[in-house]
Amino acid sequence: MFKELPPNYRPLEESTVIDYVRSQADRLNGVFRTGEPLEAVEVGDGNLNLVFKIWAQDDPERTVVIKQALPYVRLVGESWPMPADRARIEAQALDVEYRYCPQHTPRVYYFDPEMYLIVMQNLNHHIVMRKGLIQGIKYPHFAEHIGVFLAKTLGMTSDLVLDYRTKKEEVARFINPELCKITEDLVFTEPYRKTERNAYHKEIEPQVLAFQADEALHVEMAKMKEKFMTHAQALIHGDLHTGSIMVNETETFVIDPEFAFYGPMGFDIGAVIGNLFLSYASHEVRSPDPEKRADFRRYLTDTVIDLWHVFEREFQAIWDQVDPMDMPKGYQEDYMLRVLHDTAGMGAAKMMRRIIGLAGVEDIRGIEDVEERSIAASLALNIGRALLLEREQMRTIEDLVEVATACKPTYPWTD
């Protein structure tokens, strides 16, 4: 079914990873000294891979991360095989992202094609953005950073910049069927039908069933799925939720592009915005203080607006490279508007799947109080539905935010 595993492939363990690192020390630009004592811990909390942190015993700042692909979905086990070759895709995508946006891409020391692993920078002064947002931490530079990352990585890998041959060869190099299939099923299909893998909390079932019976929603979601499957616009990250972003006060890094392929730009931008609105929905209930709630939610909507404006500003540098006779101003405006509409629709898909589908997010599913969790989930669903169905009326990012902030939770049910 998949490419066979290389003969030397073996999953690492905490007990073997240090020997592995020692054997490759000359590829690490001198991070570790020959023979010095190292320590390692396995920290993978994702669904698919092993992740090890390795550091020098006498200086934890000299450290690397190893991410190794398993030939199956870790969350489920060997019954769900998954090609370890995705590590190659991830390494190649990191390479492209680093080329265009090194300040927001972890540094890769090397990719080991025999072991399907990547040795890279340990972002040990950063936390997963989702966790920060749950704690109500504001990241003042995030909008600027992610807007730049999106414009550079999407714009520079599109037909607007790449020559005709490179673009098409890159499409072929990033063909990524199995990982795309996960998205096709879990994001675009299963939430809208009764399936065993959906994992919503029982309390919001009435709204889930209403969504699953909603013909207009099915039609628009089918269009978004088609676009995901056919629109080879740019090399997209493919999984750019707030769990794939590492942040602190001053820095932002995007990690984990194993889902990368040539797809619609709006899928990445929508992933960021959709996840900010998931946080927004969760902060409907997260603090007992209404002013604090409103303040954090304003931070989130301001971030959505700001990151789009940064994206537009940085994308202008791309437009400045193209021939205005082939791509006149009116075309450029139409292009950006279509990216905005895709962003809304894709963001909507990313939100709703997190409430209804297999893979939830801690922002919402982690709320312990059933009432509060249901209010947040219901609000997230309604924002998703509105962003999807009203996307083509939007002209600006402010319109998008207005559509989202006009939504209310349906829960508690009145009938």
Spatial contact of 347 and 354, defined as CB atoms under 8 Å apart: no
164 scored as a contact of a copy of itself (CB under 8 A):
yes
334 scored as a contact of a copy of itself (CB under 8 A):
yes
- Within 335-394, the residues that bind a copy of itself by CB under 8 A are 335
> What CA–CA distance (Å, rounded) separates 106 from 371?
40
CB of 128 to a copy of itself, least distance (A): 30
Spatial contact of 282 and 253, defined as CB atoms under 8 Å apart: no
176 scored as a contact of a copy of itself (CB under 8 A):
yes
> Up-side HSE of residue 20: CA atoms within 13 Å toward CB?
25
CB of 174 to a copy of itself, least distance (A): 10
- Among the listed residues 46, 28, 170, the one whose alpha carbon sits nearest the alpha carbon of residue 100: 170
Which range touches a copy of itself (CB under 8 A), out of 36-44, 63-71, 89-97, 179-187?
179-187
- Within 268-297, the residues that bind a copy of itself by CB under 8 A are none
User: Residue type at 213?
Assistant: A
> What CA–CA distance (Å, rounded) separates 403 from 397?
10
For residue 209, count other CB atoms closer than 10 A to its CB: 11
Binding string, residues 209-248; x marks residues near a copy of itself by CB under 8 A = ------xx-xx--xx-xx--xxxxx---------------
Which region, left, alpha or beta, applies to residue 116 given φ > 0 means left and ψ of -120 to 50 means alpha?
A: left
Nearer to a copy of itself, 122 or 183 (CB): 183
Which range touches a copy of itself (CB under 8 A), out of 128-136, 181-189, 235-243, 376-384?
181-189
> What CA–CA distance (Å, rounded) separates 233 from 154?
8
180 scored as a contact of a copy of itself (CB under 8 A):
yes
Residue 41 β-bridge partners: 53
For residue 368, count other CB atoms closer than 10 A to its CB: 6
Kindly determine how many residues on this chain lie close enough to bind a copy of itself according to the rule CB under 8 A: 39
The residues binding a copy of itself (CB under 8 A) are: 159, 164-165, 167-169, 171-172, 175-178, 180-181, 184, 189, 192-193, 215-216, 218-219, 222-223, 225-226, 229-233, 325-328, 330-331, 334-335
